[in-house]
Structure 1
């Protein structure tokens, strides 16, 4: 007589006996009593998407928002989200993300929808520092996962793997549970090579939700994975969600990670090519694609920033809000730079959910920086996802140029 449902396997957990992990089981076998450990409907309850955190230390680099946070701070955010079961959609952009976002607006918008955006690529860190964006370090998704994996000072977090090569997630779960440290696997699913729609059925979402996982690791390829997450976030009951494609391979043992010294000096990509030779084409293509952006956006913005530093303390900013019952207008005058955005952040919190038309009027705005652009990105993305109207008008001169140099020209047409 079978002890586990069809398609299941058992793995030892240190000090806890055996755990049954199911890969692609019939839902009726996995949930014979329609268990709902989170107190929500596993087929559609999910979590209410939160408003953007307008207090985030976020900056815009070539169209993508990046949080100025180190690895330790990111771990605190993830653990806090898991403990309180508050949504944390974490994205780890690298150079490939940045280049893909130039050509694919939907992919760019998926990154903007993130609650936490961490620079997982030294080229992004180097460009950010040239622009004065205070990224403290590269924060690789794989490093975050390894830190959680080896942490024995906190209660273990439960993880669910979705995607990866066939059988690799199974092995990754077996290894995690055999270690019995900071992460334990409560399930995995191999969705194959179908469409996003085929991977988003009620049965699939129900299986993920009923696992009670704290952390959902998606591994479908960057574009497909981000699109799958954005499509299904409203139905998912897992608090921490991230696309970490390489993590499943690393934990499953089919690919080894670069030595720490190579990670530290930004040469992990060379090791990845050794492990996966086909990657050289992607790395080469991305490297060539970023060169024009460096000369047309990064260098002009770096030069402009030098001028901004000279007038940072000399110019003030003012915000005027009007509401005629149909349209809320924020008229921004003066200079809006990273150190002087407290009033703007508060205004955005107050108007983000207003059902009326919303317009930011920049006709009297003399200059802005990447921190200002990032806040507008968050507002625009949130309003768009909720189907609420938003418009940006009047940007000219330095303000308009900064939007273009930040890769956010699309906002000028909003």
Structure 2
């Protein structure tokens, strides 16, 4: 692990993360409700500003570097194997490589009907028909009783992995609360992966992703929703990391 803005980011690369997740879903491994996030600049800056959210990320098994800025900082700190573990790609490769296994999946997130659409999409796109349940969270804070009921539904489904597609920091907090009552191997937060893989939202071209310009593509696509976030996050991420390099924590 390599710290970026004092948050531990997974630094062994995307292939290792995919293979490690699939391997640890084998029946020989106990179900410990390990939480994984795909964490980009937005999540890292939020964690810097909100100590309670940093505590959430600190409790996770892995925080995958979802964006190139985190990878660049990690490499500057010596993490030579670190690569971008983009949430939608991580999701895709896990589904492709586990299609012929007994690993079962549960979808939680998106607007009404999105999780069901995603269940159909992973069958068509990745030939994976091991989705055993879906749930659309309400647009409000769920009670403990509601989390218990959801966890019971997940546990009865036999799911190994719960995929959560909300927004940061809501999805990470949701995952941590859910983990108190589930009996699964992993709970993974993947942001906009649900919308991308159901083709509800277009992804940035590969060249823009490699140049860390995906934020600009998404900003142009959804300016009203995202402009305040990126107006703050991009310059603040750069400033905070420069400050850290110039005045490293002893």
1:66 is matched with: 9
User: How many pairs align?
Assistant: 246
State the 1:85 CA deviation: 4.7
From the CA coordinates, give the structure whose radius of gyration is larger: 1
Relative to structure 1, is the Cα distance of residues 209 and 250 closer, same or farther in structure 2, using a 3 angstrom cutoff? same
Alignment of 1:8-407 (within 5 A): 58-83=1-26, 84-87=29-32, 88-151=34-97, 154-155=100-101, 157-179=103-125, 181-182=127-128, 184-197=130-143, 200-277=146-223, 278-301=225-248, 401-402=249-250
Provide Cα deviations, 1:214-262, integer angstroms capped at 9, x if missing partner.
Answer: 2111123222221122122131112121111211111222112223232
Deviations 1:253-312 (A, max 9, x none): 2112223232233222223224333223212210122243133212333xxxxxxxxxxx
Partners of 1:289 and 1:233 in 2: CA distance: 31
Determine the C-alpha separation between the residues in 1 that align with 2:185 and 2:129: 15
Q: 1:271 to 1:77 in 2, by over 3 A?
A: same
Q: Do the aligned partners of residues 165 and 127 (structure 1) sit closer, same or farther apart at CA in structure 2, a change above 3 Å counting? A: same
Distance 2:181 2:147 in 1: 11
TM-score by length of 1: 0.55
Tell me the equivalent position of 1:367: none
Shift in alpha-carbon separation, 1:153–1:248, aligned structure 2, 3 A: closer
Flag the structure with higher strand content.
Answer: 1
Where 1:89 maps in the other structure, the secondary structure is strand
Q: Which runs of 4+ in 1 moved over 4 A?
A: none
Choose between structure 1 and 2 for higher RCO, CA contacts under 8 A separated by at least 6 residues. 2
| Unpaired segments ≥5 residues, structure 1 | 1-57, 302-400, 403-414
Which runs of 5 or more residues in structure 2 are unaligned?
A: none
